[in-house]
Structure 1
Amino acid sequence: MIPGEVKEFFSSQFGKSLLVKGKPGTGKTTFVFGILDEICSEGNCVYISPRIDKSSGYGKYPWIEGDFNNNEDFLRMLATRIKEIWESSETKPTIVVDSIDSLSIATTRSADWEENKFELERLLFDFSRKVNADLIMITEQTEVNSLDYLVDGVVFLDIVDISDRDIRKIDLLKIRGVELSQSRYPFTLDGGVFTSFEPFKVSYPQQTQIPQPLPDPIESKISTGMPDFDKILDGGYQKGSFNLFEITSGVGDSFYSLLLPTFINHLNMGRGLLSMPTEGTSVETEKRMISSFTGDDRFHGQFMGFEIRDVNGRIPGYIEPFSGNVYKDMDIFHKSKNEMLRQYGSPLLDYIGLDSMEYNYGWENIGSIIGQMASITKTTENVVLAVTKHGQRITESVAHMATTHWKFENVDKTLVMYGVVPRTGVFAVHMEFVSGYPQVSLIPMK
């Protein structure tokens, strides 16, 4: 999937010219074939690449083959092919040059290829205008030159670092005639296909369904409710584990999308769930997000939420009020947990918003409590999912206790996650509701 702005750019009835720039290995050729998959369905393209063997995986599009002794010979061959396209189709042709640098070398066969390159660019640009063809030129020359000003569009592909992990980005430097909703997109070449990522968003369906729960893949683990995450974890969350999710600045509450399928699956497996929500999220909000996919009866029976409340007000049965005194509240929590264990047994799931705990009780008062919770959990079959937010003082000390440690970041409006422990690559988080319930995919950003 290429960015929508690039699709719109080539939807014009008039030929457009696009310069694709980037260092070797950044994905330029794969990106261009992503474009051709969108606009060349009728075989109306011509692919020219002196540096790539036609027998490679790129050979499904029509090529120009031959011995290019000079620019004129090459243009005559190109003109013949473009004439054939116009005679057999009403769709404007697309010319791809991969790369303009290697084509210049092929047409000069001398050390003067850089001087010839300027002339070849001008000839190609003028030719594509006259025959009303789209022109896509790839170059590994990353500096700005006269061609950048001549063409209608310029995109730049790059590989950047995020916590010592590579991530690919495409910059839409110039897309003439198209309004940019955003100018930079992360993308992946996973599976040999260019896939850019749209901004992360969650849109709940009007008609919801209760999904069939995913069974635990192996006896020693519980399913996350997401096949992709189960695979990354070699079967799911380890029973007796303390799992830390660190949320960086700019992520907001979108991280909850990775936890929601776990909550739903756990309840639909007939198990108990206890929740101390993060700051900015109430137990009632959690009920609205979860109960549509479990049913109210199951939610009310197997879920218990905790938050500081005025005991004189009306309190739903699925909320246990906290007082604001950390020791009294932890006593309330453990009593409720023991009752939940008595009713539903292990494994029990605890969801702990460490940001709300630090805010309500002070970080100096919760360190030993969280340490004790992590230690006790590891002697049971229960599972803890703990969330820390950007800037929390408790994060570093909790990280040392965690069985697994995951980090969420916002990369150009795309929600991504990666494992600190275990160390993993970066994954883009995608959520959809096509079946009436949340389904999360974790797409490797390769």
Structure 2
Amino acid sequence: MIPGEVKEFFSSQFGKSLLVKGKPGTGKTTFVFGILDEVCSEGNCVYISPRIDKSSEYGKYPWIEGDFNNNEDFLRMLASRIKVIWESSESKPIIVVDSIDSLSIATTRSANWEDNKFELERLLFDFSRKVNADLIMITEQTGVTSLDYLVDGVVSLEIRDISDNDIRKVNLLKIRGVELSQSRYPFTLDGGKFNSFKPFTVSYPEQTQVPQPLPDPIESKISTGIRDFDAILGGGYQKGSFNLFEITSGVGDSFYSLLLPTFINHLNMGRGLLSMPTEGTSVETEKRMIFPFTGDNHFHGQFVGFEIRDLKGRIPTYIEPFSGNVYKDMDVFHKAKNEMMRQYGSPILDYMGLDSMEYNYGWENIGSIIGQMASITKTTENVVLAVTKHGQRITETVAHMATTHWKFENVDKTLVMYGVVPKTGIFAVQMEFVHGYPQVRLTPMK
């Protein structure tokens, strides 16, 4: 999927010109064929590439073949092909030059091909205007040239580094006549296709459904409720594991999308869930997010939330109130957990917002408590999901205890995650509700 702005750019009835720039290996050719997949459904495009064999996967598009001794010979062949397109199609032609640098070399016998390139660019630009064709030119020259000022649009592709992982970005430097909702999009070439990512959003459906739970893939693990994540983890969360999720600045509460299917799946499997929410999220908020996908049968009794409460007010049955004294509150937590295990057995799922614990009790008071909890958990079949947020002092301490450690980041409004332990590549996180319940896809950012 190409960015919506690029698709809108080529929707004009008048021919547009686009320059695609980037260093070798950034994905320029795959990006251009992503454009053609969207806008060349009637065979109205012409692909020109002296450097790519027609027998490659790109050969499905109409191709100009032949030896081009000079610019004039090449333009006569191009004009002949464009004439056929206008006679057989109502759609405007699309001319792709991959790349303008290699074509300039192919159309001159002179060693000074760069002078020929300037002339060829001018001829192509004028020709496409006269025949009302879209013109896409690829170049590996990343600096600003005179061509940048002539064309209607300029797009650059690049590879950036995030924690020793490569992530690809497409930069919309100039898209004339189109309002930009954003100028940068991360993208992947996973599966050999160009796929950019829209900003991460969550929109609950009007009609919700209770999903069939995903069974545990193997006996020693519990399913995350997400097939992609189960596969990454080799079958799900290890029983007796302490799993850390580190949330960096700018992510907000969008990380919860990865945890929500786990909570829903765990409850619908008839198991117990204990929750100490992160700062800024209440137990009632969690109920509103979880309950529509479990119903009464798998929520009340199986779910217990903990938060500091005024004992004078009315407290829902699914909330155990904390007082603000860390030792008394941990006693309340363990009593509720023991009762949950007595009723539902193992594995119990503990969700812990370590930011709220640090805020309420102080980081110096919770380090030993979390350490003890992690050690005990590893001798049971229970699973802990702990969340720390950007700037917390407890994060480094807890990271040494974790069975797995995952990090969330916001990359140009796209939610991405990657494993610190185990070390993994970057995955784009996307949530959809096509069947009336949350489903998460994790797409490798290759």
Give the match for residue 426 of structure 2. Answer: 426
Q: Residue 416 of structure 1: CA displacement?
A: 0.2
Give the match for residue 36 of structure 2. Answer: 36
Amino acid across the alignment from 1:378? K
Give the match for residue 405 of structure 1. Answer: 405
Give the match for residue 24 of structure 1. Answer: 24
The answer to whether the aligner puts 1:75 opposite 2:75 as a matched pair is yes
Give the match for residue 220 of structure 1. Answer: 220
Superposition map of 1:31-110 within 5 A? 31-110=31-110
Gaps of 5+ in 1: none
Give the match for residue 3 of structure 1. Answer: 3
Task: Please give the per-residue CA displacement for 1:347-378, whole angstroms capped at 9, x wherever unaligned.
Answer: 00000000000000000000000000000000
Distance 1:408 1:324 in 2: 29
Q: Residue 297 of structure 1: CA displacement?
A: 3.2
What secondary structure sits across from 2:315 in the alignment?
coil
Give the match for residue 208 of structure 1. Answer: 208
Give the match for residue 184 of structure 1. Answer: 184
Task: Please give the per-residue CA displacement for 1:56-104, whole angstroms capped at 9, x wherever unaligned.
Answer: 0000000000010000000000000000000111110000000000000
What secondary structure sits across from 1:300 in the alignment?
coil
Q: Residue 394 of structure 1: CA displacement?
A: 0.1
Distance 1:17 1:235 in 2: 49
What secondary structure sits across from 1:96 in the alignment?
strand
Q: Residue 213 of structure 1: CA displacement?
A: 0.3
Q: TM-score of the superposition, structure 2-length normalised?
A: 1.00
Give the match for residue 417 of structure 2. Answer: 417
Give the match for residue 375 of structure 2. Answer: 375
Q: Residue 111 of structure 1: CA displacement?
A: 1.2
Runs of 4+ in 1 over 3 A off after TM superposition: none
Give the match for residue 384 of structure 2. Answer: 384
Identical amino acids, percent of aligned pairs:
90
Give the match for residue 325 of structure 1. Answer: 325
Task: Please give the per-residue CA displacement for 1:167-218, whole angstroms capped at 9, x wherever unaligned.
Answer: 0000000000000000000000000000000000000001000000000000
Give the match for residue 354 of structure 1. Answer: 354
Give the match for residue 259 of structure 2. Answer: 259
Q: CA RMSD in A?
A: 0.4
Give the match for residue 121 of structure 1. Answer: 121
Distance 1:192 1:410 in 2: 24
What secondary structure sits across from 1:59 in the alignment?
helix
Q: Residue 400 of structure 1: CA displacement?
A: 0.2
Give the match for residue 143 of structure 2. Answer: 143
What secondary structure sits across from 1:252 in the alignment?
coil
Q: Residue 149 of structure 1: CA displacement?
A: 0.2
Amino acid across the alignment from 1:423? K
Amino acid across the alignment from 2:254? S
Amino acid across the alignment from 1:324? G
Q: Residue 296 of structure 1: CA displacement?
A: 2.3
Give the match for residue 13 of structure 2. Answer: 13
Q: Residue 112 of structure 1: CA displacement?
A: 1.1
| Paired positions, count | 446
Amino acid across the alignment from 2:4? G
Q: Residue 109 of structure 1: CA displacement?
A: 3.0
Gaps of 5+ in 2: none
Distance 1:9 1:345 in 2: 58
What secondary structure sits across from 1:359 in the alignment?
helix
Q: Residue 325 of structure 1: CA displacement?
A: 0.1
Task: Please give the per-residue CA displacement for 1:197-244, whole angstroms capped at 9, x wherever unaligned.
Answer: 000000000100000000000000000000000000000000000000
Q: TM-score of the superposition, structure 1-length normalised?
A: 1.00
Q: Residue 301 of structure 1: CA displacement?
A: 1.5
The answer to whether the aligner puts 1:154 opposite 2:154 as a matched pair is yes
